[in-house]
Amino acid sequence: MKTNKYFFFLLIVVFLAGCKKEKDENPFFPEELTLLKSQVNSSFDSLNNSMSAAVNIFAASGFDSVAMRAKLLELYNESTFATEFVYTSPEGIMTIIEPSAYYSYEGSDISAQPHVIKAFQTKKPVLSNGFIVVEGYQAAVTIRPIIHNNQLIGAISAVIVPSVLLSRIIEPVVANQPFEVWVMEKTGLTLYDQDEEEIGINVLTHPMYDDFPTLREACVKMAAEESGETSYSFYQTGTSTVVNKKTWWNTFHMQENQWKIIYVKPE
């Protein structure tokens, strides 16, 4: 009888150990992060496909100003989130812009902007970091060089406001939920946050985050790693109450840039 009881006890121990091992091997990771990353990818796939097709036209035919303006306007009318499209000359001059609201910026010299330099040097598409564009607003730019007969003849760019794109994707997912989502560029720049005043601020360098070292430590970790889990202390969204926030993240990759999509659940 004692032998049977002992054997039964061992079975329970083995079963519980197996359950714990299975749980450890399959840690919680929010499915919303996979969904959001997929939706961001889909949005950019559509834009990239349209821009690639446009670049291929001029790579084959060469530059024509009338045809270029018509194509930029077509791209703008088809896009759901780009604010403007630009043809930049090989000298780095914004020669043609659509829509007409930005005509006054034609002729602007952007040859010193890092994404322009990189695209023209590598002859490959580049997604810029967030910055204040010459038109005066916070944006990011995806630029595609045009190569005709082995010569650089300029580039087509789409100017986007990441917070606009991301809010459309994220807000339906987080509505009436106990978790939050924000998005950080690998550099630490906040691209989207439910507290709108934080958009465009760099978490790693701005003084408003000086009193929150665990937040900065978490951001350094998230910037360095593809995905994972961490925690930090910061204000509850929309309040002045400091809470601990359990955090998971995933990474969206495009043209050698990275956006960190961050899921936060206050504890």
Convert the pLDDT of each residue in 26-85 to its tens digit. Answer: 678 999 999 999 999 999 999 999 999 999 999 999 999 999 999 999 999 999 999 999
- CA dist 178 and 237 (Å) reads 11
Q: What is the structure's pLDDT at 5?
A: 52
Residue 116 near residue 124, CB atoms below 8 Å: no
What is the DSSP annotation of the chain? Answer: -HHHHHHHHHHHHHHHHHHHHHHHHS----HHHHHHHHHHHHHHHHHHHHHHHHHHHHHHH---HHHHHHHHHHHHHH-SSEEEEEEE-TTSBEEEEESGGGGGGTT-B-TTSHHHHHHHHH-S-EEPPPEE-TTSSEEEEEEEEEEETTEEEEEEEEEE-HHHHHHHHHHHHHTT-S-EEEEEETTSBEEE-SSGGGTT-BTTT-GGGTT-HHHHHHHHHHHHSSSEEEEEEEEPTTSS-EEEEEEEEEEEEETTEEEEEEEEEE-
Question: Which domains, ranges and CATH numbers included, belong to the chain?
Answer: 39-160 (3.30.450.20), 163-266 (3.30.450.20)
Tokens of 160: 């986007």
Task: Kindly tell me if the per-residue pLDDT of 146 is higher than 60.
Answer: yes
What pTM does this model have?
0.87
Among 83, 102, 86, residue whose Cα is nearest residue 94: 86
- CA dist 64 and 143 (Å) reads 19
Q: What is the structure's pLDDT at 236?
A: 87
Among 218, 170, 42, residue whose Cα is nearest residue 209: 218
Query: For 25-34, 54-63, 159-168, 199-208, which range has the lowest pLDDT when averaged over its residues?
Result: 25-34
CB-based burial of residue 6 (10 Å sphere; 0-12 exposed, 13-18 middle, 19+ buried)?
Answer: exposed
Task: Kindly tell me if the per-residue pLDDT of 96 is higher than 60.
Answer: yes
Task: Kindly tell me if the per-residue pLDDT of 4 is higher than 70.
Answer: no
Q: What is the structure's pLDDT at 240?
A: 87
